[in-house]
Structure 1
Amino acid sequence: MAVRPGSVTFVAVLTYINGILNVIGGVILLITRDQVAGSAGGGVAGITTAAIISILLGIIVIIVARGLLRGSPGARVVVTVVMIIDIVNGVILLFSGQLASGIVQILWSLLIIVLLFTRRANGFFTGR
């Protein structure tokens, strides 16, 4: 059994945090979408879409993050796909007038993807 690299544990923790923040942020954005749309000049439909995507992705990420700790290659693929979708959602946020949220979401997701594919992480996931 391959020893889990610290970077994979770190990614799993980041992934859990990402999932929790996506759910919380999505709920807050959904509740305040009318105020956000009015103050940011964005459309309510785009903000609502971004909020719902954030909530759903957050739930998926929380469920799958456990598999990362066990070295599941499937979990790594799912988290990577979700992070790519999360990046797209960050772009939607950028165009909805939520610049800071969009930038943070994009950078956070990129960090997780990069750390999932380091040499040691590759060895851990392929050694299963």
Structure 2
Amino acid sequence: MAARPGSVTFVAVLTYINGILNIIGGVVILLTRDQMAAGNSATLGGITTAAIISLLLGIVVVIVARGLLRGSPGARAVVTVVMIIDLFNGLFLLFNSQVAGGVIQILWSLLIIVLLYTRRANAFFTGR
């Protein structure tokens, strides 16, 4: 059984932060979506959709982040899938006039995915 590498601990912390930020961001966007859309109903729908996706993904990520610390392959798979969805949500934000938020979300998701699949992380998760 491999010892938990620091990168996995770092990813777990990043995953908790990601989940919390997604929840906060989703709430803020929902509360300010009318101002962000500036009367454009098509943009309003896109912004609302992105906010709801952020909220749901944030909740899932916070729930499964603890499993990463225990070396759960299931938690790793769930976080990977959620980060891929989060990545696409970042692209969605890019195309709905939320460029800065979209870029940050994409880069953050890629960082977590890459760190989850390093050689040491693979040994940790397969050793469980």
TM-score surpassing 0.5?
A: yes
Query: Could you tell me how far 1:38 is from its partner in structure 2?
Result: 1.1
Deviations 1:27-55 (A, max 9, x none): 00011001011199971000000000000
Q: Does 1:119 align with 2:122?
A: no
CA contact (8 A) 1:42 1:96 kept: no
- In structure 1, what is the Cα distance between the partners aligned to 2:94 and 2:80? 21
Question: With structure 1 as the length reference, what TM-score do the two structures score?
Answer: 0.96
Query: Could you tell me how far 1:2 is from its partner in structure 2?
Result: 2.3
- In structure 1, what is the Cα distance between the partners aligned to 2:121 and 2:15? 15
Pairing of 1:1-128 with structure 2 (within 5 A): 1-38=1-38, 43-128=43-128
- In structure 2, what is the Cα distance between the partners aligned to 1:4 and 1:40? 49
Structure 1 consecutive aligned stretches of length 4 or more whose deviation exceeds 3 Å = 39-42
Structure 1 unaligned blocks of 5 or more: none
| Count of residues in Structure 1 that have an aligned counterpart in Structure 2 | 128
- In structure 2, what is the Cα distance between the partners aligned to 1:55 and 1:16? 13
Question: With structure 2 as the length reference, what TM-score do the two structures score?
Answer: 0.96
- In structure 2, what is the Cα distance between the partners aligned to 1:74 and 1:99? 32
Structure 2 unaligned blocks of 5 or more: none
